[in-house]
Amino acid sequence: MSIPSIEARKFRVGKYDVIGRPIPHSAHMLRYTVFVDGVRIGALASVPTESDCLFLEKPPVVPPLKIYSVIYRPGRPKKGTVRPTDKGPGPVPIELPHELALPRPHDLE
């Protein structure tokens, strides 16, 4: 005995034709195939929206990958460079007078 499945559906979303056919061995799921002017542009397992169809028709531009190279090592010094040892002047310390009385925890109460 086979699993009863639902019937196929055909509808339009904007300028896109969508045909939903049952997925094999599934009782209630449909595979939605999207067409533009009779040309298949993709398929989805969920009901497609117009933005989904537009994404299938014109996917966003993906920048090219950077090729990994042993020579290109960003953030690392080149071989043979000497580490800088001169750190330059630091912050100037503030001179406090010796007579300045600092509050103590038992004086605050």
pLDDT (average), residues 55-76 = 78
User: What are the start-end ranges of the H helices in 4-62?
Assistant: 50-57
List of residues 6+ apart from 31 with CB closer than 8 A: 20, 21, 22, 23, 43, 44, 45
Task: Provide the whole-model pTM.
Answer: 0.56
CA distance 9 to 22: 9
Residue 10 reports pLDDT greater than 70: yes
Q: What pLDDT, in 10s, does the model give residues 69-94? A: 666 656 777 788 887 766 666 677 77
Least confident segment among 56-60, 66-70, 90-94: 66-70
Whole-number pLDDT of residue 4: 76
Q: Which two tokens stand for residue 30?
A: 């449909």
How far, CA to CA in Å, does 92 sit from each of 89, 95, 101? 8, 9, 22
Whole-number pLDDT of residue 39: 93
